A and B are shown apart, each in its own frame.
Chain A
Amino acid sequence: MNVPQGNLLRKRVVTDLATPLSQALDASVTGYARLEPGDTLLLDAEGVGVITFEDGVPVVAYHSGADSGGADALADIAVAGPSRVALYELDGDALAQLHDADELRVPPGLPAERLAGDPALAERTREAAPASRAAEREREQDGLAAVEQFLDDGDRIADIRERARDQAATRAEEWGFDLPGT
């Protein structure tokens, strides 16, 4: 996925992804957020996530590490955890082509639901979405239904666990821990 370079609005380390999502919503940002894992050592393995916005409402999501789009990309971003987030402003026309890619689109409230676990922010985002996105809004699962769907994806969860184990082992070495049984 190629995103044209935008105007940097802000860049910060966040522990809760509700922060950039609500900032984009409150400022009605048209542009995109670039999300990197907080730990640059893991950057190669984890990749970078991108979420685009139209008037503050998320439109598409992509993750470079997994080469995933849409809801899958959100899960990959969620798994990468707390991040360095840069929010860019970009002309709506520059995003138009990207926004036509159906496989990358996400329902308006889904990022808040999946990345922030914040149903109130998700609801606020759905309310801000234009009428043209009513159909997507309808399809969206909220609250625990989204959590159940996540839990039904055994492969993804196995992947999260495996990556965490690798990370834990790599860091043990870095931190000078002797692992049991080694």
Chain B
Amino acid sequence: MNEDQQQKNKRLAGKLSLSAVAMVVFAIVALPALYNLICNITGLDGRTGRIEKEQALATRPDKTRVIKIEFDANVNGDLPWEFKALTRRIEVHPGEVATVSYYAKNLSNRTIVGQAVPYVTPIKVAKYFNKTECFCFSQQKFGPGEDKEMPLRFIVDPDLPKDVNTITLSYTFFDTKQSGVEEDSAKAENATPQ
């Protein structure tokens, strides 16, 4: 092989290696960001939205429609918590602010920090289901045996597609495997799903 040829080969190899590196960056940085973006826009992963109280109160209820909302609660894996919806089912008008409560109790004798993750079905509803207050906005710290009633305040957007009459909202509590919550609650505010 002559010098020229070798130079050419090395240059091509260099370019190809760069594209490989670019693909690693794409996989680690772009793919997760893209996924989150798409999920946030479309609600494909069943995530619900979050709006300010003022905005919710300013919405005019649509008294002509009644939507049935069902509430479900689960714990993930072997998280030793009791977790349930105190209200199993309510009926609301779109545009009306409603409040329900969930109940959770730490059955173990150690402090556990949990994070609730919502899922709403049918999936296309996600865009129209907004919360002003939720225990899922931040991590929840429960001491040994501690129990709490936790409010959930939400509003269904009046633009909800006409064919939807029933919405099911499900929460799953995950163990965050952390012992304290204070130190990074600020970070959690941003990172946690709504």
A and B bind = no
Interface residues of A (CB under 8 A from B): none
List B residues at the A interface (Cβ < 8 Å): none
